[in-house]
Amino acid sequence: MRALSAVGYRRLGAIGSVAAAVGGWGAGSLPARDPWGLWPAYGPGVTAAAAVLAYAGLTLLVVAWWQYGRAGAGVRDTLVTLVWWAAPLVLTPPLYSADVYSYIAQGAMVIEGHDVYSVGPSVLDPGGLGGDAAASVGRNWTDTPAPYGPFFLILARLVTWATGGTIVPAVLGMRLIALGGLVLIVWALRRLAREYGRSESGALWLGALNPLLLIHVVGGIHNDGLMIGLMLAGTVLATRGRWVVGSALVGLAMMVKSPAALALLFIGVLVGRAATGPLVRRVAKGLLAPGLVAGAVAVAAALLGGTGFGWLGSQGVAGSIHTALSVTSDLGLVLGELLHLLIGSDVEPVKSAVQTLGLAAALGLILHFAWRAVNGRLTAVHALGLSLVALVVLSPMVQPWYLLWGVTVIAATEWRGRTARVLAVLSAALVYETHPSGSTPAYGFVLVGVVCVVAARLVRRERAVWDAPRMPDIRTEGDLRPRVRL
């Protein structure tokens, strides 16, 4: 492809985004019932053609993103490009996932007094509030309790109440929340990159302009965007010395999705390193203080939301559903089937044991990164990003957009280098795993493999571009110590 300017790649990506959006109107995650008739289901011919258009647009977007990162654009230009690429996805039906229908249905369940942590959307009256959303929920989640925290359910309830649960305005209302998460991500990435002497435009390229984020946060309306935005905002405040407010924001992020709690460990590293006095006092502050603040926020959200503390028992719900991207689940399933053939043992206990070992390995890596941060060999923020990636890789359930948990954090501290190269390749590839309708066809995994090979070869060929020009080294946490107020 002939090299274009940053503006040229912006236009190419915008064309791709428009094509993906138009394709989504025919092949997206369309509702089972839409009383307004704006997002009707089409025949198989139109749906197939729309899916082809969406895939073609997605490919243009990925190519434009990859090349844009090498075009040397500034912060303002990158922000304009983000608006150009995100705007076409704002008014589309849900793309690449039907999860937003679960959010709306769960908001209706809270309004009607159902326990969202013990029953699924199927309890809703088909003709009542949230009935259309419940009918549109993916079959794996119809009877599944909510794995989300009370703060997110408060937001879902507000959207459902304000829109009467009507599909189109309710979906668009949830998308506004997702866009709010994107704004927080952009705000936090710029400030973290500045804090650690990195390129703001580079951090935005990997962390916000990333097509995996665009299609799954803006298009797919996943609440991971809000979780990441709150977690990053809290981390920014903690690095600037305002760790109490930062821990409170992380507490809100936990009340969207629980993995955000990992940030408290690394905020604790900042607090502990900055504390004065005996070692025991410093360690106690680092280990306990951020958690107590976030815990108080969590309790307040549970009480104000009226959902209670059932979310504590529903965190393992998602892990009961097998996803092919989970290495530990796949390995456990294969090993279980093999032992079943050899000795007749049950498959599930073997699979569960391997999943548990995977989580134990993830915990070991997280503690390793935390120890390196304590010793100043890693910054706390970079260690957080690596820990989130480790958690995702070794989790019993992995979805493509889970990679964003770590990508957005690492983007602020290393948008170039070996880790960034791997994450960029995976980001470019994983967008193909999911069909615009939200299904996961077998050919999606083939496309992921092909793109991984192609992108890896490009990275090897462009090694000099990825490694130069080098930005200043990341500052050590010792440089931040005077900023942390106790």
The pLDDT value given to residue 2: 53
**Residue 145 DSSP SS3:** coil
pLDDT average, residue stretch 339-357:
87
The pLDDT value given to residue 474: 38
The pLDDT value given to residue 395: 92
> Does the pLDDT value for residue 219 go beyond 90?
yes
> Does the pLDDT value for residue 234 go beyond 90?
yes
pLDDT digits (tens, 9 = 90+) for 61-79: 999 999 998 887 899 999 9
The pLDDT value given to residue 89: 97
Percent of the chain with pLDDT over 90: 70
pLDDT digits (tens, 9 = 90+) for 189-212: 999 999 988 889 999 999 999 999
Residues sharing a CB contact under 8 Å with residue 342, sequence separation 6 or more, in sequence order: none
The pLDDT value given to residue 318: 60
What is the model's pTM? 0.92
The whole-angstrom separation of Cα 27 and Cα 44 is: 9
> Does the pLDDT value for residue 482 go beyond 60?
no
Identify whether 469 is preceded by a cis peptide bond (ω within 30 of 0): yes
The pLDDT value given to residue 480: 37
Packing angle, helices 347-374 and 380-393, rounded to 10: 170
The pLDDT value given to residue 1: 45
The pLDDT value given to residue 165: 93
pLDDT digits (tens, 9 = 90+) for 361-403: 999 999 999 999 998 899 999 999 999 999 999 999 899 999 9
Phi, psi of 275 (to 5 degrees): -70, 160
Confidence class of residue 309 from pLDDT cuts 50, 70 and 90?
confident
**Residue 91 DSSP SS3:** coil
String of DSSP letters for 45-83: HHHHHHHHHHHHHHHHHHHHHHHHTTTT--HHHHHHHHH
The amino acid occupying position 375 is N
Percent of the chain with pLDDT over 70: 92
**Residue 208 DSSP SS3:** coil
pLDDT average, residue stretch 18-35:
94
Helix, strand, coil percentages for the chain (3-state, nearest 5): 70, 0, 30
pLDDT digits (tens, 9 = 90+) for 86-144: 999 999 999 999 999 999 999 999 999 999 999 999 999 999 999 999 999 987 788 88
The pLDDT value given to residue 211: 97
The pLDDT value given to residue 129: 93
The whole-angstrom separation of Cα 427 and Cα 382 is: 18
pLDDT digits (tens, 9 = 90+) for 242-265: 999 999 999 999 999 999 999 999
Average pLDDT, the chain: 89
pLDDT digits (tens, 9 = 90+) for 150-171: 999 999 999 999 999 999 999 9
The pLDDT value given to residue 160: 96
pLDDT digits (tens, 9 = 90+) for 270-287: 988 877 667 667 777 788
Confidence class of residue 215 from pLDDT cuts 50, 70 and 90?
very high
pLDDT average, residue stretch 211-227:
97
Per-residue DSSP letter, 35: T
Give the residue, 21 or 474, on which the prediction is more confident.
Answer: 21
The whole-angstrom separation of Cα 182 and Cα 85 is: 13
pLDDT digits (tens, 9 = 90+) for 39-51: 998 899 999 999 9
> Does the pLDDT value for residue 478 go beyond 70?
no
The whole-angstrom separation of Cα 219 and Cα 476 is: 37
The pLDDT value given to residue 473: 36
Helices (H), 308-403: 327-343, 347-374, 380-393
